[in-house]
Amino acid sequence: MVECVELLGYLNQLLKPADFNDYCPNGLQVEGCPIVSRLVTGVTASQALIEKAIEFEADAVLVHHGYFWKGESTVVTGMKRQRLRLLLQHDINLLAYHLPLDAHPLYGNNAQLAALLNICVDKERAEKGGGLLWSGILPDAFTAGDFAKYLQEKLAGRPPLHIGDQQRTISTIAWCTGGGQGLIEAACELGVDVFLTGEASEQTTHVARERGIEFFAAGHHATERGGVKALGEHLADVYNIDSQFIDIDNPV
Ligand SMILES: [Zn+2]
């Protein structure tokens, strides 16, 4: 077991949230009991995840998508009340790390997605603040069509959205997990064959076609499971606590 204060200190040192201009508070979002011996990790602090955490008798929940986003209503009513009520009633700490958990060189979502897909990461770019947009080389010379199948196999079992040419041979890739579709033009500037992210917008199609890049959206949730899961396993090793990653399926 570990004191929550110590756990937070460790996470803040590891993930350096002060280096990011984020859309939500990073770190402790809801205070619970002072000692953590059981931890649940998950992508989003939805009600379903909290209910699973209660079943697991978790002292803390660690997520990538927490609460209190910039621009959201500040009142505690409805869905937000219900989520907070469950956490507070059960004395569960809610810890959330957003951008710091996308970008971390080892436990970040981008790093974990690269490991899952066996991408050879351009380390220099990643380290000098590639930040949210990483690049590298694919493990094989795929056609874009085969790469779509590879993504389906490695991720949620769902076919990704692909805008491009099935027959094209591809070898270089840039990626940003989650809702990274706004980075498609930055990816084009890197001169890569492929841009992979979680989601697409209407205009993404036109950018992909007109800039001639193979675009894949493989799911916001599916591409962001790796970071928090890896981080939870790491914390379990460091502090000898029970940690369990709980996947609440999400097709988006
Ligand atoms: Zn996300």
Q: How far apart are alpha carbons 117 and 134 in whole angstroms?
A: 13
Q: How far apart are alpha carbons 155 and 125 in whole angstroms?
A: 25
- Exposure string (b/e) for 227-238, b if CB count within 10 Å is 16 or more? bbbbbbeebeee
Enter the tokens of residue 60: 């803390």
Whole-number Å distance, alpha carbon 229 to ligand 1 midpoint, is: 14
Q: Cα–chain-centroid distance for residue 25? A: 16
Q: Are 134 and 192 in contact (CB under 8 A)?
A: no
Whole-number Å distance, alpha carbon 104 to ligand 1 midpoint, is: 14
Whole-number Å distance, alpha carbon 79 to ligand 1 midpoint, is: 20
Whole-number Å distance, alpha carbon 226 to ligand 1 midpoint, is: 12
Q: Are 209 and 163 in contact (CB under 8 A)?
A: yes
Whole-number Å distance, alpha carbon 220 to ligand 1 midpoint, is: 6
pLDDT in tens, the chain (252 residues): 999 999 999 999 999 999 999 999 999 999 999 999 999 999 999 999 999 999 999 999 999 999 999 999 999 999 999 999 999 999 999 999 999 999 999 999 999 999 999 999 988 776 665 579 999 999 988 999 999 999 999 997 889 999 999 999 999 999 999 999 999 999 999 999 999 999 999 999 999 999 999 999 999 999 999 999 999 999 999 999 999 999 999 999
Query: Quick one: DSSP state of residue 69?
Result: -
Cα torsion through 79, 81, 84, 90, rounded to 10: -110
pTM of the model: 0.94
Domains with residue ranges and CATH for the chain? 2-98 (3.40.1390.30), 109-221 (3.40.1390.30)
